[in-house]
Amino acid sequence: MKKLTAIIFGLLLAVNPAAAQQPLPGFADLAEKWLPSVVNISTRNLTPAEETDLNSLENVNPGWSDYFKKPGDQQTSLGSGFIIDENGFIVTNNHVIENASEINVTLADNRQFPAEVAGKDLKTDIALLKINAGGKLPPVKFGDADKIRVGDWILAIGNPFGLGGSVTAGIVSAKSRDIASGPYDNFIQTDASINQGSSGGPMFNLDGEVIGINTAIFSTNGGSMGIGFAIPVNLVGYVIEQLKTAGSVERGWIGVRIQPASAEIRQSLGLNTPGGVIVSEVEENSPAGKAGVEVGDLILNFDNQEIDDTKNLSRIVAETAPGKKTFLTIWRNKSSKRLSLTVERLKDTPALPPPVSEKSAAPERDDTSLPGTGLTLAPINAETADRFKLSENMTGVVVLRVEAGSEAETKGLKAGDVISKIDNKEIFDLNGIKEGFREAALDGNRPVLLQINDDGVFHFAAIKAETNDKN
């Protein structure tokens, strides 16, 4: 029997030799080395704090929440942080210390010190604290978050529920997660057990390098459900350095409004390769405007970096130093063009677009339907201008109705939108938009590019109409 057991065991190893060669990693040495670099943070607020979430994510989905609040305590908040400088600089999340009148930092050896805010950045939810510990402190090492892969082991250290020095392990579940928290969403997702109070703590790779800052969880009950999110250090490295040296963050700005360039949009513009974002608005006297960027251009490259989505471009521009002279490559009239520009500083309070309002329409007699699109359109006249609160001198045609389940609805069009251009040509009446669709039908029945004016906010949609009118 013993001989048979040995044979079976040997067969199992032979079938799956990798299982015998790749044991689970040990985390004891890693934890022992870096626990002294992780701190606990407690605050008292100016006013009794209510349970809040990261950038009001709870209003989007009740499962999204931050986790630095101590349950049942409206006066005291708990969070985590880590030492980045032997002189006492500490990184945490801004929401951990937001509105705090008093901040205290507890080290791994239980020494406690008052902390001052050296700087904070709301856009990336990062805050930099400073303590005077009367001696040198053990800083962490930063790694390269871009090198991690889905499935890699990570270690999280924090202060969950006030239990300082807690270590949990897991894997990288996903990269580049967008959880609708802000313009720089690019989170690392992990299944490591993370709970309330861990916010602001470090995420380590197996080389003992910090690759992320634990920031948010998805939870239906306030506890860990194996879905946690960390800000990659590559995203906030420049933020931390600016906070350390200047106390605030200075970002680049070029003055364009952009949107994703779908395959249909790229096809309508004669581009069959992936990547790029489409310009929906160019601010007057902006760097982009001065450089010659136009509405309807596709931005393919900025500062020698390929652009594949809107967040990619937003991050690259933001990290570009104001005053730097650089280049961008655009796609226009079925060819690429290189433009030079000088990046300017992003204003502290950039103007926000007007709120988008839902409008409804009554049946319209002077209208036309575009087969296959789900759109019913009408000219802009005194009646439609009054109904939709439009300026009578506005050019284009107005959307009266959008058929449920139609292509137009899937592309976000709604009653009250004004179609101002088709394939980057201004339209002034219903004949103009009909002609645009007819030309597209003659050109291989390709999608047409519509410029939409939604309460003063411009964006694009590519739509293909079903038509047999090719004469």
The pLDDT score that the predictor gives to residue 221 is: 54
Round to whole Å and give the CA distance between 456 and 420: 11
pLDDT per residue, tens digit, the chain (471 aa), is 555 555 444 444 444 554 445 566 778 888 889 999 999 999 887 544 433 333 333 333 334 344 334 444 444 668 899 999 999 999 999 989 988 889 999 999 999 999 999 999 988 899 999 999 988 999 999 999 999 999 999 999 988 877 778 898 899 998 887 766 666 778 899 888 787 788 899 999 999 999 999 987 665 555 556 788 889 998 888 899 999 988 888 899 999 999 888 888 998 899 988 889 999 899 989 999 999 999 999 999 999 999 988 888 988 898 898 999 999 999 999 999 999 999 999 876 443 343 333 333 333 345 567 767 778 888 888 778 778 888 767 888 888 888 877 778 888 888 888 888 888 888 878 888 888 887 877 777 788 888 888 887 888 888 876 544 444
The pLDDT score that the predictor gives to residue 466 is: 59
Whether the CB-CB separation of 419 and 377 falls below 8 Å is answered with yes
The pLDDT score that the predictor gives to residue 464 is: 77
| Run of H or E including 267 | helix 263-268
* Residues shown for the chain: 471
What 3-state class would DSSP assign to 101?
A: strand
pTM assigned to the model: 0.65
Q: Say how many C-beta atoms besides its own lie within 10 A of residue 120's C-beta.
A: 22
Beta strands in 250-366 (DSSP E): 252-253, 256-260, 277-282, 298-302, 305-306, 325-332, 335-342, 344-345
Round to whole Å and give the CA distance between 416 and 360: 7
Whether the CB-CB separation of 70 and 103 falls below 8 Å is answered with no
In degrees, rounded to 5, the angle at the alpha carbon of residue 357 between the alpha carbons of residues 354 and 359 is 145
Nearest CA-CA partner of 213 in 196, 193, 246, 237: 237
Structure tokens at 466: 């079903």
The pLDDT score that the predictor gives to residue 375 is: 84
Q: Which residues contact 193 (CB under 8 A, 6 or more apart)?
A: 156, 168, 170, 224, 226
Structural domains present in the chain: 28-246 (2.40.10.120), 252-345 (2.30.42.10), 368-463 (2.30.42.10)
The pLDDT score that the predictor gives to residue 89 is: 96
Burial letters 244-280, b for 16+ CB under 10 A, else e: beeeebebbbbbbbbbebeebbbbbbebeeebbbbbb
Catalytic positions: 95, 125, 199
HSE-up of 265 (CA within 13 Å, CB side)?
A: 25
Round to whole Å and give the CA distance between 82 and 72: 26
The pLDDT score that the predictor gives to residue 180 is: 64
Structure tokens at 171: 């894997």
| Run of H or E including 310 | helix 310-318
What 3-state class would DSSP assign to 170?
A: strand
Round to whole Å and give the CA distance between 10 and 64: 48
Whether the CB-CB separation of 374 and 409 falls below 8 Å is answered with yes
What DSSP assignment string belongs to 406-468?
A: SHHHHTT--TT-EEEEETTEE--SHHHHHHHHHHHHHTTTPPEEEEEEETTEEEEEEE-----
